Amino acid sequence: MNRIKVVSEVAELVPILRAVDTEVKSEVFKEVSTGWKTAREIEEKFGASGADALRFFEKMKLVETKWQTGPTASPEKAYHAFYSSFHINATAPVPEISDVLHAAMMSEEAYAVIETKIFEMVGTEGKFSGDVADALKVTQTKLKALVKRSPRLDFRGHRIIRFED
């Protein structure tokens, strides 16, 4: 089945850019684009970072999953790329696209500091995104891009919550 991911909001570029920001993620994404692969198969081929990549893709809704019986006869979760192509049609003012690209491309160390702040700020109950943006002194667009980058955070409506597998 051919599914096309239509990107019309600039913050939606972050998951696509982050899906291929390392060699392992890029190779894992290619693997799941060619067919169904189990987490065990990916982990055997790419190690723990391959399994982390799968979790990231699942959170970003870039892969679909199904349960299939493996060689051990017990059900295993298998992954396949959800989209066969991307259609990017987004217009944004320069400050917004700058915020999004900065969030997507900042170093892991710098991002980890911000992600931890947001993670602690939202707690177990979640928090209204406007309050988080005000506390961090960032725009809503930048906050959305920062949350889209995180494998530990997600949006539910206008609230930021901790993401659970």
The first and second tokens of residue 56, run together, are: 């990231």
On the question of pLDDT at 164 being above 80, the answer is: no
This model's pTM is above 0.85:
no
Average pLDDT over residues 57-82: 85
Q: What residue ranges define each of the domains in the chain, with the CATH number in brackets?
A: 4-88 (1.10.10.10), 94-162 (1.10.10)
Query: Could you read off the pLDDT of 94-137 as tens digits, one per residue?
Result: 999 999 999 999 999 999 999 999 999 999 999 999 999 999 99
Kindly provide the b/e burial profile for residues 23-45, where b requires at least 16 CB atoms within 10 angstroms of the residue's own CB. ebbeebbebbeeeebbbebbeee
120 vs 75, higher pLDDT: 120
Average pLDDT over residues 73-99: 89
Q: Which residues contact 23 (CB under 8 A, 6 or more apart)?
A: none
On the question of pLDDT at 73 being above 80, the answer is: no
Q: Please provide the size of the chain in residues.
A: 165
Give 81's Cβ-side CA count (13 Å radius). 21
